[in-house]
Structure formats: structure tokens, C-alpha cells
Amino acid sequence: MTKQRRYFGTDGIRGRVGDGVVTPDFVLKLGWAVGRVLANGKNSRVIIGKDTRISGYMFESALQAGLSAAGVDIYLLGPMPTPAVAYLTRTFHAQAGIVISASHNPYHDNGIKFFSAQGTKLPDDIELEIEAMLEQPLKTVESIRLGKAHRIGDAAGRYIEFCKSTIPSGVDLAKLKIVVDCANGATYHVAPDVFRELGAEVVVMGAEPDGLNINQNCGSTEPRLLQQAVLKNNADLGIALDGDGDRIIMVDHRGEIVDGDELLFIIARARQRSGDTQTNIVGTQMSNLGLEHALAEYDMSLHRAKVGDRYVMEMLQQVGGQIGGEASGHIICLDKTSTGDGIVAALQVLAEIQQTGNSLHALRSVVTKYPQHLINVRVEKMVDIDGNPDIADAVADVEKQLGSDGRVLLRPSGTEPVIRVMVEGRDAPLTKQLAHQLADVIEKVLKA
């Protein structure tokens, strides 16, 4: 039986600044514990990057102190996208990479994410080792062995060149006008230059971070202003990144949102068109049935992982796949990099636009998305919904009415006391009706 993790969630440690473990004293101890577990003695080094939250300064200093106390050298990147930290951890041959970020959350949250020496998320056993070390008293190494801090001045340039290398050298974006929303986050000084240097005309928004405005009415979770900007500027498309740059949502020339499911299809189809024979594509339980059917039309299979990029990565490794992602825009291209990367994913789509001569709208139109209706049923305590016969009968009844053109998903939330009831089908009114019908049964069972 796997031991329960006390501090780590599905993507590191995250919470409101000053609450729980998201405090300077805990983060200092965390830095020391990571140094003790991951460092291999002499010449150990750890890369640290962060997004643009005001609390990043505080946690950067705390991590630096803890790692130094463990005898580990620190290489500071300053504000850099999460996938850039993964890439630079590999190229600097560091023992680990650390990102100070709460991704798409508001500024008052923050968190710590980790990468292994290979630029991948830490395995469970290493996280458990770190948690065990946190229970030990902090002991500082002797002064001669204290870690030193270094700042990498050309980190942005290194990452920009890497991003550009992920598409064929002949791809020229000179005919494209693009609006890029950097979410006032970690990509503000990187993403615009990537697209400009590849020839695109770039209109920039969300690139004036002040420590408090990250993800505020902008970025991949709030693309409304990007939609307006694409139409106002008569642009070919828009790109919305999130606060730490590992998610992407796009907007076509008509101002319509193109989500992660549609982007995943475009990239998978691009790989197939270029001669790649890999047919295993990974989505999640929430991936739209329309994506599954569109992939099947081209003899590709959708494998569904649990929600979370960590589980998408696990499934990719299990099925030997290269391309995976979530509807939220976390796209993983393992043939290009080791983790989800919003800029790299965008470039794959732009390359397909340039090479096929099709617009983003035309490429996404191959996927006919099915209506999904989601209801959150609040619970006082978690119950075994899988083992309840009344719920099982209700699910079977809904599935019978939907037939092969729909599906049902019941999923306890990992972040709040709710059970998520999702019904998907071709007929929007029927889908909504069946979702409420199923939610009512679940509520009655919970009350009983």
C-alpha cells in the first residue's frame, strides 16, 4: 500500500501565502530537506526559477538559505516559465529544478514544484523521502561546505533558442499576426520574443507584471480580453498562456476559443502527417468525446488518464505515447521536451498552420465537440460512490439513454468537498437533463 503524502499534492506544494505550509520557515526547511535528499555530495547544484508573484522574492530567499545549509549550490534564474526550469535543469546537469509558482492561481497563492535531473516531475518515492527528511532536525553543514548562490544571466535567451528549435528550421511565421497574452506571468519577457524571432507580427498583452496582477483578467483561464483583442487587431489568432507558462489556450481569427482538446488533436494530426506512426494519444477523463471520435477517424486512439498532467505523463509512459494533454491546455510533447510547455505547444500548432496553409479555425473544425454538463454535488464527508447500488443503477440508466454517443463521469474532487457529475452527449438539452437527474440521485443517497 502506497504511503499517503503529507505535504505534496499532484503538482508539488501549493496554498495561500502565510497559511499551512506556504510560509518562509517551512520553505526554508523544505529547501534543506530537498538538498539532503537529492544532493550527491560534492558539486551538487539546484536550479531555482519563479513566476512574477510578489511572494516569490521571499520564498526564493528561503529556499536559497535551506539549500545552502544542506551544502548545495544554487543557480537562480529569476522569473522564468516552469518548462524553462525543466529544460535548464537538464542542460546544467543539476540534481533538481525548483519552481516557485502557483500556476494559474491568483497572486495571494504560491507553491513549490520540483523537477528531477531529467526535467521530469519527481517520483512518489522521492517526495516521500523529502517528507521524511522534513521530520528531522535541520543541521547546517560546516561553513567550508555551505552552498554558494549564482545567477544565470542568459537563462531567457537559452530558453528562447530551445523553443525555436522545436519546429523545423524552414518554418517562417512572417505571414501571421498573433496576439500573445502572457498572463502578467513568467513568460512576459520570453514568449513575445520567441514568436517575433520566427517572423510573426506580435501584439503583446498581459506583459506588465507588478507582483499582484498575475492571471488577473488575463491568461489561459480568462481569455475574454484576448478574444476581443484578436478581433480588434484583425489578427490571425491569439495565444493565452497561464502564469507559469505550462498551459495554453488559443483563439482563432473569429474570436472563438480553441481549447486543449482541439490543440491536442491538431498536434497529433501534425505528427501523423509528418510520418510519425505513433497512434497512442493521451487525454484525461474530462477530455471531450469529440476528440476521441476525431482521433479514431485518423486511426489514432485516445487513452484516458486521471485529471492532472502528472497522470497524463504516467499514461504516456505506459502506452509508449509522445503526445498528451488536458482540455485546460496542459499539452505534453515528449518528442520535444520533458514536461508540459505552453510556448512549445503553440509552436507545434503554428508550424502546422504554416505547413498546411490552413487557418487555426479550419484545423480545429475537424473536432466536433460534444456538449458537456458538469454539476458539483457538495458532500459533508467522502463516500464510496462506486459501491452504492442506487448510484450504479442511476448511472446505468443515464448511459442507456445516451447510448454510444455519450458518457458519464463521477469524480470526487481532489481540492474541495464535492463530487463532480459530468454527462456528455450529442443532444445538449438531454445531456443537461440527465446530469441533473443523476445529481439528484447522488444528493438523495448522500443525505440518506
For residue 174, pLDDT over 80 is answered with yes
The ranges assigned to domains in the chain are 13-153, 159-364, 372-447
Give the tens place of pLDDT for each residue, 244-299: 999 999 999 999 999 999 999 999 999 999 999 889 999 999 999 999 999 999 99
Band (pLDDT 50/70/90 cuts) for residue 33 is very high
- Average pLDDT over all residues of the chain: 94
Band (pLDDT 50/70/90 cuts) for residue 99 is very high
**pLDDT score, position 433:** 94
Band (pLDDT 50/70/90 cuts) for residue 381 is low
CATH topology of domain 159-364: Alpha-D-Glucose-1,6-Bisphosphate; Chain A, domain 3 (3.40.120)
**pLDDT score, position 1:** 41
The closest alpha carbon to 398, from 409, 387, 389, belongs to 409
| CATH superfamily, region 372-447 | Alpha-D-phosphohexomutase, C-terminal domain (3.30.310.50)
Within a 10 A sphere around the Cβ of 128, how many other Cβ atoms?
A: 18
The closest alpha carbon to 114, from 442, 357, 339, 374, belongs to 339
For residue 61, pLDDT over 70 is answered with yes
Which candidate in 103, 116, 220, 338 is catalytic? 103
Span 413-419, average pLDDT: 74
The closest alpha carbon to 247, from 89, 104, 48, belongs to 104
**pLDDT score, position 12:** 87
**pLDDT score, position 39:** 74
Q: Report whether 51 contacts 186 (CB < 8 A).
A: yes
pTM of the model: 0.93
Q: Do domains 13-153 and 372-447 have the same CATH topology?
A: no
Pairing label, strands 45-50, 96-100: parallel
C-alpha 243: how far from its chain's center? Answer: 10
Q: Report whether 294 contacts 302 (CB < 8 A).
A: no
One of 3.40.50.970, 3.40.120.10, 2.60.40.420, 3.30.70.20 is the CATH number of 13-153, namely 3.40.120.10
Secondary structure of residue 419 in the 3-state scheme: strand
Whole-angstrom distance, CA of residue 33 vs CA of residue 138: 8
Q: Is 103 a catalytic residue?
A: yes
Band (pLDDT 50/70/90 cuts) for residue 181 is very high
Span 359-388, average pLDDT: 87
**pLDDT score, position 185:** 98
For residue 418, pLDDT over 90 is answered with no
Longest pairwise C-alpha distance within the chain:
72
Judged by phi (left if over 0) then psi (alpha if -120 to 50, else beta), residue 189 lies in alpha
The closest alpha carbon to 372, from 324, 435, 416, 303, belongs to 435
Whole-angstrom distance, CA of residue 102 vs CA of residue 380: 27
